Amino acid sequence: MPKVVTLPGDGIGPEVTAAAAEVLREVAPDVHIEEHAIGGAAYEQFGDPFPQRTRDALRDADAVLLGTVGGAQNSPWNALPRHLRPESGLLALRRALGCYANLRPVRVLPGLEHLSPLKPELARGVDILIVRELLGGIYFDGDRKIEGDTAYNTMRYTTPEVERVARVAFWAAEQRRGRVTSVDKANVLEVSELWRRDVQALRDREYRNVHLNHEYVDSVAMLIVANPSRYDVILTENLFGDILSDLAAVIPGSLGLMPSASLGDGPGLFEPIHGSAPDIAGQGIANPAAAIMSVAMLLRHGLERPQVANQVERAVALALREHPTRDLGGQADTRTFTHAVLDAMGSPSVG
């Protein structure tokens, strides 16, 4: 029996995770779902944002479904020592799972172009996959310190780290339109020179059927909103990927529409990219679409059930058109939208 561990986390995390788990139970009744704590909620209960009992539960998991982690800017959690803050639990989770490649699809669903802040003619047909390196670079390098009025962080990559995430991007491009844009800042950063060299060498050696081009991160930041349809798969390192994926996330019209998958050596981690939204937590109005579409990615990449994943994605698209949530200008609350997705699963256009 496949095992999925859910980590609801903080803020609206428990609400959207419950909705996503309900859909997962409906489409995959054979899956065993086990819930554990992470983030601020885990700190409050166990004094650790990534407690040992959560670590232990992951050992025999086939996939992990995460809600959200963190509190408001004025949360007392932010005054804790860094290793006890909720976000440290998330970083430790990624490291424990060996999730080095983060996949963030940016897709404007047909009929929902009006939700995008871009002109409809620019938003129409946008379908980008951002592949972000997740375990290296400036976020994870131990060479960091604050010393009086000086502080520093170090960005560092090795060839094996670059090659393993680049393979994911090239593999994904082979399933899509066959184009990879590798993003760096090789004109000023030595670490980007290494990145560009290694990505190009891997492509020339193993993926000659994939078209590869290199672009600077500042150029991509402009073009991803000025001409998003030019991109198929975007490959980049951790810091640049964090910024670009959040920038691209506004294109579909709401962070509530953005799922993600983090893949690597162990079970995959699947999560919506929106924050914990503590200002609306507990009100039952959070948009669960991203969490439910993260279940679709879990079905595709974690449980290898692509046909069921496609059904969930079509059901979400139909529910969004007929029952938009409040952040999209509609009236549907969390429960209403979840039921709309479940009802849509039985629609002839979905099955």
> Active-site residue among 62, 127, 141, 246?
246
State residue 351's pLDDT score.
Answer: 57
Question: Which residue is catalytic, options 139, 141, 216, 343?
Answer: 139
Neighbour tally for 104: CB within 10 Å: 23
Q: Which residues face 325 on adjacent strands?
A: 332
Judging by DSSP bridges, how do beta strands 127-133 and 63-68 pair with one another? Answer: unpaired
Quote the pLDDT of residue 141: 86
Query: Does the annotation mark 246 as catalytic?
Result: yes
What is the spatial distance between Cα 171 and Cα 157, in angstroms, rounded to a whole number? Answer: 21
Q: Is 242 labeled as catalytic in the residue annotation?
A: yes
Write down the catalytic residue from 60, 143, 218, 265.
218
Instruction: Mark whether 279 is an active-site residue.
Output: no
Counting as low any pLDDT under 70, the low residues of the chain are: 347-351
Neighbours of 164 (CB within 10 A): 17
Half-sphere exposure (Cβ direction) of 206: Cα atoms closer than 13 Å: 13
Residue 59 class from Cβ within 10 Å (0-12 exposed, 13-18 middle, 19+ buried)?
A: exposed
Q: Which helix (H) or strand (E) holds 132?
A: strand 127-133
CA dist., res. 312 & res. 297, Å (int): 10
Structure tokens at 180: 């990879």
Per-residue model confidence (pLDDT) at position 114: 87
- Residue located via tokens 């549907």: 332
> Has 145 been annotated as catalytic?
no
CA distance 327 to 179: 33
| Annotated catalytic residue within 43, 157, 185, 207 | 185
Whole-number pLDDT of residue 151: 96
Is residue 149 part of the annotated active site? The answer reads no
pLDDT in tens, 199-255: 999 999 999 999 999 999 999 999 999 999 999 999 999 999 999 998 998 899 887
User: What pLDDT was estimated at residue 349?
Assistant: 57
